[in-house]
Amino acid sequence: MSHLKDWQQWLRPKGVPPKPLEDRLWSKVQKNSPNGCWIWTGGVANHGYGEIGVGSRVGGAKRTKLLVHRLVYELLVGEIPDGLDIDHLCRNKICVNPAHLEPVTRRENLARGNGNITKTHCPQGHPYDEANTYRKKSRYGFQRICRTCERRRQRRYDAAHRAFKNL
């Protein structure tokens, strides 16, 4: 299913002729970067990816924001297969050059980045192995928890809680 098709409802609110999305999109892209990146100069979300607002509250349509790199990929390359992320091969989150974007699984995207998936030890040096690690559901799937660090954290919490109760 195309994300662009899902977004069609936001592109043309009822009764209000919107500014063409593509005109707004391309007016905020600089294509003259020395490394070949097409730099998004518009709004950037807290997570560092470019975004563009679409839709309007006028005419009953809600306003929402789209991730620009996904929108550009679908406009210029084609549909993003379900369940895949768009990986920035250039590691620049505000790049929208489709030659620098590749659909990959979430696991592959995390492994290519500087994420925790490639780490073999927790920040305190304990191994992420089967005996010392459990997985906890998180917003992005699962995260690894070091059992040794978690036990230490729990002991500190329990001691502080006992001290507070004795006040």
φ/ψ bin of 79: left (φ > 0), alpha (ψ from -120 to 50), beta (otherwise): beta
What are 48-94's pLDDT values in tens digits?
Answer: 999 998 876 566 667 788 999 999 999 999 999 999 999 999 989 99
Residue 12 has pLDDT above 70, yes or no: no
For range 153-163, the mean pLDDT: 93
Q: Is 157 exposed, middle or buried (0-12, 13-18, 19+ CB in 10 A)?
A: exposed
Architecture of the 3-113 domain: Alpha-Beta Complex (3.90)
* DSSP codes, 45-69: -TTS-BEEEE--SGGGPPPEEEEHH
pLDDT at 1 (0 to 100): 46
Query: Which residues in the chain are classed under CATH 3.90.75?
Result: 3-113
Of 1, 24, 28, the closest CA to residue 11 belongs to 24
Q: How confident is the model at residue 116 (pLDDT cuts 50, 70, 90)?
A: low
Which tokens in the block code for residue 148?
């040794």
pLDDT at 151 (0 to 100): 95
The helix/strand/coil state of 44 is strand
For range 141-167, the mean pLDDT: 90
d(CA 67, CA 90): 17
Residue 111 has pLDDT above 90, yes or no: no
Residue 100 has pLDDT above 80, yes or no: yes
Q: 111: how many CB neighbours lie within 10 A of its CB?
A: 13
Average pLDDT, the chain: 85
Residue with tokens 């899902």: 6
